């Protein structure tokens, strides 16, 4: 494929996903696939096994691909993992933690939201107390990178406590998996969820659940929804060697397979370093221009950063957004309620030179 035939994007997406992909990922979508054919099913199996290899070098893990956006995979996990009479504790500090609580409520699953506020790290002492005092709790869920603020939650410390109490541990690693090295075995996670259009740099259309095989086994007969039945989807894929129960997003899977090739070429640690370097260049440059970050550096992820909106009475996000878009950059509105903010993501096919160009564009607007 001559990549010169693939149109360039009109602007760079500095968002938490869908994000800017490479031309080679977009080019990978230019043919059709039969969902019953070996060519396609083998690709699905390769994608699954490569995701498992990214999740941990230890044996005993499997991967389930699920149609829909990332939330569908979170919902499939919550509604399939927690048994009747079980109870979920959610360590909540943002919109995505809230979403997990809401999913549990929709499915009439008992849920305890341990809220630490949008700017607060999860209180590990309180987690311990809650697990001591409420023996009904069977599962604990947390968001790794809370995309609402850009905060990174301490999943290793949380996992140690959850396992001390022998509970099942679920991580929404949607916006971090593939961009921050995570070993599920070291984190002691039973389920870890992400999607195609975040740090692996594919296009939107499906999510995936990485899980211990024994944790997936417990989901048998527990699902509260047919299409989101995690166990059934897993069984169908495993036994069918890459078959999906219902129509799968074939072109998106092919693009994802290409994105995994590109992640392997770059290297996971190198990708993490590129993102971290992008984020540092961005924050250092923005601070020089007089902007403040919402979070202290110690809590900040290398994925997306919230900046406090300028105090200038003439500032409006819409004008700022439109002016930057004209210069080739799309940023993201703020999502916290505690302060007026805007967000800039630095994941995807985004490099140091892009950060420098962005800072020049912002300087011209200031």
Ligand X SMILES: *Cc1c(COP(=O)(O)O)cnc(C)c1O
Binding residues for substrate: 343
Transcribe 74-91 into DSSP letters. Answer: HHHHHHHHSPTT-EEEEE
Cβ nearer to ligand X, comparing 41 with 80? 80
Cβ nearer to ligand X, comparing 93 with 258? 93
* Sequence ranges of the binding site: 343
What is the token pair recorded at 222? 């527990």
- Cβ partners under 8 Å of residue 324, min gap 6: 330, 331, 358, 361, 362, 365
Residue among 286, 299, 276 at smallest CA distance from 341: 286
Cβ nearer to ligand X, comparing 67 with 69? 69
Cβ nearer to ligand X, comparing 56 with 71? 71
Cβ nearer to ligand X, comparing 109 with 131? 109
How far from the centroid of its chain's Cα atoms is residue 114's Cα?
21
Cβ nearer to ligand X, comparing 195 with 305? 195
Minimum distance from residue 5 beta carbon to ligand X (Å): 29
**What distance in Å separates the CA atoms of residue 325 and residue 100, rounded to the nearest whole number?**
32
Minimum distance from residue 187 beta carbon to ligand X (Å): 16
Q: Which residues bind ligand X (CB under 6 A)?
A: 16-17, 69-71, 96, 143, 147, 172, 174-175, 195
E-assigned strand segments in the chain = 12-13, 61-67, 87-92, 110-115, 139-143, 145-146, 151-152, 168-172, 191-195, 206-212, 304-308, 329-330, 332-333, 341-345
Minimum distance from residue 85 beta carbon to ligand X (Å): 27
Q: What one-character DSSP code corresponds to residue 153? A: P
Cβ nearer to ligand X, comparing 114 with 148? 148
**What distance in Å separates the CA atoms of residue 294 and residue 29, rounded to the nearest whole number?**
38
Helix (H, G, I), strand (E, B) or coil at 155: helix
Minimum distance from residue 151 beta carbon to ligand X (Å): 10
Minimum distance from residue 197 beta carbon to ligand X (Å): 7
Minimum distance from residue 263 beta carbon to ligand X (Å): 18
Minimum distance from residue 364 beta carbon to ligand X (Å): 30
- Cβ partners under 8 Å of residue 354, min gap 6: 12, 278
How far from the centroid of its chain's Cα atoms is residue 203's Cα?
13
Cβ nearer to ligand X, comparing 70 with 242? 70
Residue among 243, 238, 194 at smallest CA distance from 220: 238
| Contact in structure between 122 and 151 (CB atoms under 8 Å) | no
- Cβ partners under 8 Å of residue 269, min gap 6: 181
Minimum distance from residue 96 beta carbon to ligand X (Å): 4
The residue nearest ligand X at its CB is 70
Transcribe 160-221 into DSSP letters. Answer: HHHHHTT-EEEEE-TTTBTTB---HHHHT-SEEEEETTSTT---SSEEEEEEEHHHHHTTTT
């Amino acid at each position: 494929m001559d990549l010169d035939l693939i149109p360039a994007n009109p602007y760079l997406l500095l968002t938490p996903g869908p994000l800017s992909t490479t031309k080679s990922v977009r080019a990978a979508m230019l043919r059709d696939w039969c969902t019953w054919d070996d060519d396609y099913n083998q690709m699905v199996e390769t994608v699954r096994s490569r995701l498992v290899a990214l999740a941990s070098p230890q044996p005993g893990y499997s991967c389930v691909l699920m149609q829909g956006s990332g939330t569908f995979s979170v919902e499939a996990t919550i509604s399939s993992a927690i048994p009747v009479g079980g109870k979920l504790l959610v360590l909540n500090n943002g919109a995505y933690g809230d979403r997990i609580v809401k999913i549990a409520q929709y499915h009439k699953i008992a849920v305890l939201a341990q809220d630490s506020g949008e700017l607060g790290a999860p209180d590990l002492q309180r987690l311990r107390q809650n697990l001591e005092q409420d023996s009904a709790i069977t599962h604990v869920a947390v968001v790794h990178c809370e995309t609402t603020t850009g905060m990174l939650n301490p999943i290793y410390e949380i996992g140690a406590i959850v396992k001390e109490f022998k509970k099942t541990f679920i991580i929404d690693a949607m916006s971090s998996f593939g961009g921050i090295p995570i070993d599920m075995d070291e984190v002691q996670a039973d389920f870890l969820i992400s999607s195609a259009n975040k740090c692996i740099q594919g296009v939107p259309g499906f999510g995936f659940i990485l899980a211990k095989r024994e944790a997936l086994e417990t989901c048998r007969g527990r699902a509260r929804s047919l299409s989101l039945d995690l166990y059934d989807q897993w069984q169908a894929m495993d036994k069918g060697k890459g078959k999906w129960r219902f129509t799968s997003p074939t072109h998106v899977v092919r693009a994802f397979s290409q994105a995994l090739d590109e992640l392997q070429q770059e290297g996971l640690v190198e990708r993490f370093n590129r993102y971290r370097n992008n984020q540092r260049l961005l924050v250092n440059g923005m601070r020089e221009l007089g902007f403040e970050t919402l979070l202290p550096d110690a809590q900040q992820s290398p994925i997306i950063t919230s900046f406090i909106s300028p105090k200038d009475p003439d500032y409006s996000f819409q004008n700022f957004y439109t002016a930057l878009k004209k210069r080739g950059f799309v940023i993201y509105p703020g999502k916290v309620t505690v302060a007026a903010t805007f967000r800039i993501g630095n994941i995807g096919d985004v490099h140091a030179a892009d950060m420098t160009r962005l800072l020049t564009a912002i300087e011209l607007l200031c």
